[in-house]
Structure 1
Amino acid sequence: MKEKKTNRKSYIGKIIIIFLILIAVGSYFFIPSIKNGVNVIFDMFSTGDFTVVKKFVESYGAYAVFVSFLLMIFQSIAAPLPAFLITFANANLFGWWQGAILSWTSSMVGAALCFLIARVLGRDVVERLTSKKGLKQIDTFFEKYGRKSILIARLLPFISFDIVSYAAGLTSMSFKGFIIATGLGQLPATIIYSYVGGMLTGGAQKLVTGLLILFALSVLVVLIKQIYNEKQKKARENEK
């Protein structure tokens, strides 16, 4: 009886999520104002300049906090847009600790939605929302680091944590475990990025952005090297 109820809830959940996705996609293609708005957001993220994001959010006046919240959720679902640009913008616009709270809570909601979408709709849909290659890379990452991969990914501004959130939903990891790991993993990074973002102006912005890119690339090289060495080790063991 319980199994039937669980299957029914899962089926209803799939219908609701698919329906919402169809509405979102349909709105983009058939409502010009929405299409233009989404294109503006993608163009804004492609600049890599947090001041552009700041001006966009600031332009909504009293609704700026709400717009920033929705923007973070949008970038979560539309992976792999860079969330750190929003974190910097929030800190620069609202103050570092207020911005940190806003960025942390909104990214938590975004991560939770990615996890639930993957858990309900499965891998085929997630591959369409993200990329098959990207998911395979995260699968390898998960095999190597397990739950620690969530903590590591959140600390790196140029790794798409959104894809990690989707991938986590495809595993046997519990929602509670995922939320706890996500919250703990993103908190220090959010505080640091918010504190730095609150002070960024002019040349300092380019310097810090460059340092973050260098840091992210350095860590990525180390992680990729570790994963490669582990694969080589397994291959040698299998040959024996």
Structure 2
Amino acid sequence: MKKNKMQFGRSIFLAFLLILLLAFFLIPKLRGGALYIVSMFATGDFTVLRDFVASYGAYAALISFLLMILQSVAAPLPAFLLTFANANLFGWWRGAILSWSSAMAGASLCFFIARLLGREAVVKLTSRSGLQNIEEFFKRHGRMSILIARLLPFISFDIVSYAAGLTSISFWSFFVATGIGQLPATIIYSYVGGFLTGGAKLFVTGLLILFALSFLIMLGRQLYKERH
């Protein structure tokens, strides 16, 4: 019975993907809009995203929510830019709630995509080497893998979600670990983002490097202890 449900869900999802793919190639405005969104993330400037979201007025929060889900599925897109934009536009604590909840929705979607479509589909959405690295991380850290990975900003949030869907972990265990693990970074990014202006790009870069280095040192120390 469970297998039949999985097959039915897989069929529905594949049909939905096919419709999206056809719409992308057959509707020029949709294709142009999707490429424009990717180009906004590629600029590395959160103000571009902020202005785009703000242009939708009363629907700005909904657009931001959908953008976060989109970047979750398209793993290479940087989520922290949208977190900065949300905080700058809606205030740091409202932006944090929006970023956290939409990231949770995106992580859940990635989890179920992996569970429905399997490894080969995940490889196409991410990368084989990236997926293998996360799987090695899972083997090394066991039951705490999801929580640890969420606390480390240099580990891809989206690939972790996909990789978790390929394991036997229950959805709710994944959901709780993700919710707790991503909360500190979301609060920090949102608090900083609430005060940023367009001229603070260098400061943001320095902050992210410092944040990443601190966790790298902590992880290196842990690995050293495990080896010795």
Q: Name 1:22's counterpart in structure 2.
A: 18
Within 2, Cα distance between the matches of 1:223 and 1:138?
14
Conserved in 2, the CA contact under 8 Å of 1:153 and 1:164?
Answer: yes
Within 1, Cα distance between the matches of 2:124 and 2:211?
30
Q: Name 2:48's counterpart in structure 1.
A: 52
Q: Name 2:184's counterpart in structure 1.
A: 188
User: What amino acid does structure 1 have at the position aligned with 2:58?
Assistant: A
Highest CA radius of gyration, 1 or 2?
1
Q: Name 2:151's counterpart in structure 1.
A: 155
User: What amino acid does structure 2 have at the position aligned with 1:209?
Assistant: T
Indicate which of 193, 200, 204 corresponds to 1:204. Answer: 200
- How far the C-alpha of 1:35 sits from its partner, in A, is 1.0
Within 1, Cα distance between the matches of 2:183 and 2:218?
23
User: What amino acid does structure 1 have at the position aligned with 2:196?
Assistant: L
Structure 1 residues 15 and 48: CA distance shift in structure 2, 3 A: same
Within 2, Cα distance between the matches of 1:33 and 1:202?
29
Q: Name 1:132's counterpart in structure 2.
A: 128
- How far the C-alpha of 1:54 sits from its partner, in A, is 0.5
Deviations 1:119-148 (A, max 9, x none): 111101111111111100111111112343
RMSD, aligned α-carbons: 2.1
User: What amino acid does structure 2 have at the position aligned with 1:133?
Assistant: S
User: What amino acid does structure 2 have at the position aligned with 1:170?
Assistant: L
TM-score, scaled to structure 1: 0.87
User: What amino acid does structure 1 have at the position aligned with 2:60?
Assistant: A
Indicate which of 103, 106, 111 corresponds to 1:115. Answer: 111
Conserved in 1, the CA contact under 8 Å of 2:73 and 2:110?
Answer: yes
Q: Name 2:102's counterpart in structure 1.
A: 106
Q: Gapped runs of 5+ residues in structure 2? A: none
Within 2, Cα distance between the matches of 1:107 and 1:90?
12
Within 2, Cα distance between the matches of 1:217 and 1:8?
47
Indicate which of 83, 93, 98 corresponds to 1:97. Answer: 93
User: What amino acid does structure 1 have at the position aligned with 2:5?
Assistant: K
Structure 1 residues 56 and 159: CA distance shift in structure 2, 3 A: farther
- How far the C-alpha of 1:214 sits from its partner, in A, is 3.8
User: What amino acid does structure 2 have at the position aligned with 1:33?
Assistant: K
Residues 38-49 of structure 1 aligned to structure 2 (within 5 Å): 38-49=34-45
Q: Name 1:238's counterpart in structure 2.
A: none
Q: Gapped runs of 5+ residues in structure 1? A: 234-240
Deviations 1:181-203 (A, max 9, x none): 01111112211111111011244
Count of residue correspondences: 228
Conserved in 1, the CA contact under 8 Å of 2:153 and 2:212?
Answer: yes
Seq. identity, %: 65
Structure 1 residues 158 and 50: CA distance shift in structure 2, 3 A: farther
- How far the C-alpha of 1:40 sits from its partner, in A, is 0.8
- How far the C-alpha of 1:157 sits from its partner, in A, is 3.8
Within 2, Cα distance between the matches of 1:191 and 1:152?
17
Conserved in 1, the CA contact under 8 Å of 2:47 and 2:198?
Answer: no
User: What amino acid does structure 1 have at the position aligned with 2:88?
Assistant: N
Is the aligned partner of 1:173 residue 2:161? no
Q: Name 2:74's counterpart in structure 1.
A: 78
Within 2, Cα distance between the matches of 1:226 and 1:30?
51
Within 1, Cα distance between the matches of 2:219 and 2:74?
25
Conserved in 2, the CA contact under 8 Å of 1:144 and 1:227?
Answer: no
Structure 1 counterpart SS, 2:155: coil
Q: Name 2:30's counterpart in structure 1.
A: 34
Structure 1 residues 173 and 59: CA distance shift in structure 2, 3 A: same
Within 2, Cα distance between the matches of 1:28 and 1:17?
16
Q: Name 2:63's counterpart in structure 1.
A: 67
